[in-house]
Structure 1
Amino acid sequence: MDDRDAAPALGYHTGYWSAGPPAGVAEAVAGADALGLDSVWTAEAYGSDAFTPLAWWGAGTRRVRLGTAVAQVDARTPTATAMAAMTLDHLSGGRAVLGLGASGVQVVEGWYGRPYARPLARTREFVAVVRQVLRREGPVRADGEFYRLPLPEPEGSGQGRALRPTLHPLRADLPVLLAAQGPRNVALAAEIADGWLPLFVTPSADERVREQLADGFARRDPRLRPPEAFEVVATVPVALGPDVESAADRVRPFVALYAGGMGAPGANHHRAALDRLGFAEVLDEVEARFRAGDRERAAAAVPTELVREVALVGTPADLTEQARRWSGSVATTLALQTDPADLPAVVGALRAAGLGGGADGAARPAAGQM
């Protein structure tokens, strides 16, 4: 974790589905495995789920790790989430990675019908129950503010039993990673998780995020992997094009969506993360245009400087040059979000920069082999 000379591994992020399964992703997942990438990641919001694509697409892979980035905390109970992770881990031979996130108030209260209050405390309790299931040391019990097992009276009948999972986990220490944006959330990931799943983290913010992680490491449970083994899997948009500007045009709508539409006004964690990179003033215009329904002009207002800060854009030579700044950063893996057809060329360009195990495609071993 603190090896500043290390180059990050490479993963492939399939992104969110829109109206249907994204074209070419199944082939890209198989390609990621053949290319020797570290991992494949899926997402969920209020459409497709994160686990099913991993099981379906992952069935044809042999090496690549299969991770959720992220499974939403309020989409399932913690015991059901642990069941899904354990099942996938068995089916994949020890390659599952459980990435969790609290999502935002619009989705949690609008889609799941649950209060969004105190997301850090809710996440802490959720992970504690998941850990109990994975360790299978006894019947699962919880007496928290958000999760109580067995459910006591008067909410329950009083007849519920504390149960131990019938399934023996393949790995009691199956990795649990947390998506986080704000400083307190990042510190929580370092305290209770095996890794952090950031969006809009960049090498220029390296010292700041290392301080936030160190704050959490100081309170870390000694039963967890040591801080040196902590993962930082950063999602990075990548767009190939004939030049930087035209490639940046493919990323601007993505940034505009997250700055203007991924959260309620004043409660958008993604916008806050971008603000911390020094772009608050220009993002006021982006958000205003997006919320007014003018998505085209909102995207046009995203400056190339911001795109280059959070993404890799341009020709293969441009990507190679831009990727070099990630070496020695806090990121241990870059989860590349790119056109599936471009994945081989993108991987080649980044390996030319020394990322992802070099030209021979050597990747870190599967989690079950470490």
Structure 2
Amino acid sequence: VTIDKLSNGRFRLGLGVSGPQVVEGWHGVAYGKPLKKTREYVQIVRNIINRESKTTFEGEYYNLPYSGDDASGLGKPLKLIEEPLRKNIPIYLAAIGPKNIELTAEIADGWLPFMYSPTLGDKFFNQFLDKGFEKSGDPDKKSKFNISAPVFAKLCDESEREVYLGTARNNYTLYVGGMGAKDKNFYFNLMCEYGYEDIATQIQELYLNGNKPEAEALFPPDLLDDLTLVGSKERIKEKLEDWKNCNVTELSISIPLDIETIRFIKECL
């Protein structure tokens, strides 16, 4: 709410469930049912932000006030002290798995995908988005829904292109090869859905065995080119046509943050 005021109503709240390795290894809680947790959490956050009444909630995972066996009994319904600038701050969910994408389209205002391919993504993701839009019960949900895709972008001389692509390649390889257990890696699954199952399997095996350079070298050049905006003005301008023709409504320029690149892409869009 404070950030929304400081940004004059431009803030969007991004949330995501991560994966079991991080949730249980870093946060120290059971991964449980992430979709159910997300549904409850989003409902609570919306209730808090709109500030129409003190927040109470009874769910499978969250209860406000807390009433477990170890409760002090002193908890009581509360609400924000500060009046929000907007009572409906947009909530975007990070999601990759089919059910999570479906849930996102149903309950959120926008979606934060990862490794969204402007040429391959629509064909794979539309089916899950459409199911979620239908479940929302809002006939206008699809037209109001935003897809904010992160893209590695760098305006540079063609002679420097491979250097910056190398940074992007290493990052994507980390996610496909090592961001999750061997049988529970959503990024690996996505690369398989894009049609690169054999290469993804090799990348994951090499990465998990500690052979990172070999894994990085296998990342498909055509997919890397599809996922990034790196190179001359002419190249980036041409590749932006693919983004304009897909379902993505917003580009979130990721590392390396470069104001010249951001300004040029803004001009082209």
TM above 0.5 = yes
Alpha-carbon distance in 2 for matches of 1:126, 1:170: 21
Distance 1:135 1:98, change over 3 A: same
Alpha-carbon distance in 1 for matches of 2:31, 2:62: 14
Distance 1:104 1:344, change over 3 A: same
* Partner of residue 218 from structure 1, selected from 111, 134, 151: 134
Q: Which residue of 2 aligns with 1:229?
A: 144
Asked if 1:164 corresponds to 2:79, the answer is yes
**1:138 CA displacement:** 1.2
Alpha-carbon distance in 2 for matches of 1:226, 1:255: 31
Distance 1:346 1:96, change over 3 A: closer
Distance 1:293 1:187, change over 3 A: same
**1:211 CA displacement:** 2.3
Alpha-carbon distance in 2 for matches of 1:241, 1:250: 16
Distance 1:218 1:105, change over 3 A: same
Q: Which residue of 1 aligns with 2:222?
A: 305
Looking at both structures, which has the greater relative contact order when contacts are Cα pairs under 8 Å and sequence separation is at least 6? 1
Alpha-carbon distance in 2 for matches of 1:200, 1:138: 40
**1:326 CA displacement:** 1.0
**1:153 CA displacement:** 4.1
Matched ranges for 1:104-143 at <5 A: 104-143=19-58
**1:187 CA displacement:** 0.9
Alpha-carbon distance in 2 for matches of 1:161, 1:136: 16
* Partner of residue 291 from structure 1, selected from 205, 208, 211: 208
The answer on whether the counterparts of 2:152 and 2:253 sit within 8 Å (CA) in structure 1 is yes
**1:236 CA displacement:** 1.1
**1:247 CA displacement:** 4.5
Asked if 1:202 corresponds to 2:125, the answer is no
Larger deviation: 239-248 or 104-113? 239-248
Equivalent position amino acid for 2:135 in 1? R
Equivalent position amino acid for 1:189 in 2? T
* Partner of residue 89 from structure 2, selected from 151, 166, 174: 174
Matched ranges for 1:1-370 at <5 A: 86-203=1-118, 204-220=120-136, 222=138, 226-239=141-154, 240-242=156-158, 245-341=162-258, 343-345=259-261, 347-348=263-264, 350=265, 354-355=268-269
The answer on whether the counterparts of 1:202 and 1:309 sit within 8 Å (CA) in structure 2 is yes
Quick one: percent identity of the two aligned structures? 34
Alpha-carbon distance in 1 for matches of 2:115, 2:257: 21
Alpha-carbon distance in 2 for matches of 1:262, 1:300: 17
Q: Which residue of 2 aligns with 1:75?
A: none
Q: How many residues align?
A: 266
Alpha-carbon distance in 1 for matches of 2:59, 2:198: 41
Distance 1:296 1:241, change over 3 A: farther
Cα deviation code 1:269-313 (max 9, x no counterpart): 111112111111111111122112222121111120120222223
Alpha-carbon distance in 2 for matches of 1:177, 1:153: 30
Structure 2: gaps spanning 5 or more residues: none
Equivalent position amino acid for 1:211 in 2? Q
Distance 1:294 1:149, change over 3 A: same
Partner SS for 1:340 = coil
Alpha-carbon distance in 1 for matches of 2:69, 2:20: 28
Structure 1: gaps spanning 5 or more residues: 1-85, 356-370
Give the alignment's TM-score, normalised by structure 2: 0.91
Cα deviation code 1:307-338 (max 9, x no counterpart): 02222233332222222111131101111123
Distance 1:303 1:131, change over 3 A: same
Partner SS for 2:235 = helix
RMSD over equivalenced CA pairs, Å? 2.0
The answer on whether the counterparts of 2:153 and 2:253 sit within 8 Å (CA) in structure 1 is yes
The answer on whether the counterparts of 2:153 and 2:261 sit within 8 Å (CA) in structure 1 is no
Partner SS for 2:135 = coil
**1:181 CA displacement:** 0.2
Alpha-carbon distance in 2 for matches of 1:137, 1:351: 38
The answer on whether the counterparts of 2:124 and 2:193 sit within 8 Å (CA) in structure 1 is no
Where has structure 1 moved over 4 Å in runs of 4 or more?
243-247
